[in-house]
A and B are shown apart, each in its own frame.
Chain A
Amino acid sequence: NAGVMQNPRHLVRRRGQEARLRCSPMKGHSHVYWYRQLPEEGLKFMVYLQKENIIDESGMPKERFSAEFPKEGPSILRIQQVVRGDSAAYFCASSARGYGYTFGSGTRLTVV
């Protein structure tokens, strides 16, 4: 029973490039959450998605960031035109009923 799978584990992008982070929830989980952890800080909520729907995106920056969770396939967090301040660890979590999270191992994004 695989857990929440995130890939890549590490991602390096040059300023101005796009970053695509993938998250496959646990089998049977239809709720996905994305969090960002800046260096030396706690986790900050970004977005909550169910299949094909964005439920709460109150933590998403207004520009350059988007998220989707299609009917088939993983959830994608997309960051366009990355800047140095986007360097962080991005965690995905999934749940079956909207609470009771299981976290993935995270994607560490470094913008150079």
Chain B
Amino acid sequence: AQKITQTQPGMFVQEKEAVTLDCTYDTSDQSYGLFWYKQPSSGEMIFLIYQGSYDEQNATEGRYSLNFQKARKSANLVISASQLGDSAMYFCASYMKTSYDKVIFGPGTSLSVIP
């Protein structure tokens, strides 16, 4: 069964600094995908970045990059040059390509950016 672990319930970062949010996953499948979502205080779920298990390069989307270490089953999100608007909950999620039916979410990390 899939399981997503996010060990940091809360994180603080100074504005303009970089921050890494940890995520480890547990799956026996060889083919899977990993996501990060942002949930600001307004409540909507905002897709940030996606990494496929066979992608050789780490995914990047603007200030977001995914540090994918397949052997360690780790998919950390790196946010560079933090902005005040980055303060939000961040969820790591995964799905297995053999079973397209559902994405499993981690418990989330609350990020606060300090001016």
Chain A partners chain B: yes
Q: Which residue of B lies closest to A89 (CB)?
A: B43
Contact with A along B71-97 (1 / 0, CB 8 A): 000000000000000000001000101
Across the interface, do B97 and A99 meet the contact criterion of CB distance under 8 Å? Answer: yes
Contact with B along A69-83 (1 / 0, CB 8 A): 000000000000000
Does chain B have a CB within 8 A of A12?
no
Chain B residues, CB < 8 A from A103: 37, 44-45, 47
Q: B36 to chain A: closest CB distance in Å?
A: 12
Among the 9-residue stretches A13-21, A22-30, A40-48, the one with 4 or more Cβ atoms under 8 Å from chain B is A40-48
Which of under 10, 10 to 19, 20 to 34, or 35 or more describes the interface residues of B? 20 to 34
Across the interface, do B95 and A99 meet the contact criterion of CB distance under 8 Å? Answer: yes
Known: A43-B91, A48-B101, A48-B102. A101 touches B107 (CB 8 A): no
Chain A residues, CB < 8 A from B106: 42
Across the interface, do A101 and B43 meet the contact criterion of CB distance under 8 Å? Answer: no
Chain A residues, CB < 8 A from B107: 41-42
Which of under 10, 10 to 19, 20 to 34, or 35 or more describes the interface residues of A? 20 to 34
Chain B residues, CB < 8 A from A55: 101
Does chain B have a CB within 8 A of A66?
no
Q: B32 to chain A: closest CB distance in Å?
A: 10
Q: Provide the bound-state CA to CA distance between A103 and B38, in Å.
A: 11
Contact with A along B56-84 (1 / 0, CB 8 A): 00000000000000000000000000000
Chain B residues, CB < 8 A from A44: 105
> Which of B35, B47, B50, B108 touches A42 (beta carbons < 8 Å)?
B108
Chain B residues, CB < 8 A from A93: 45, 103
> Which of B35, B47, B50, B103 touches A33 (beta carbons < 8 Å)?
B103
Does chain B have a CB within 8 A of A102?
yes
Q: Provide the bound-state CA to CA distance between A41 and B104, in Å.
A: 13
Q: Which of B33, B91, B105 has the largest number of chain A CB atoms within 10 A?
A: B105
Chain A residues, CB < 8 A from B33: 99
Q: A24 to chain B: closest CB distance in Å?
A: 16
> Which of A42, A48, A105 touches B105 (beta carbons < 8 Å)?
A42
The 3 closest A-B pairs by CB, nearest first: A98-B100, A103-B45, A56-B101
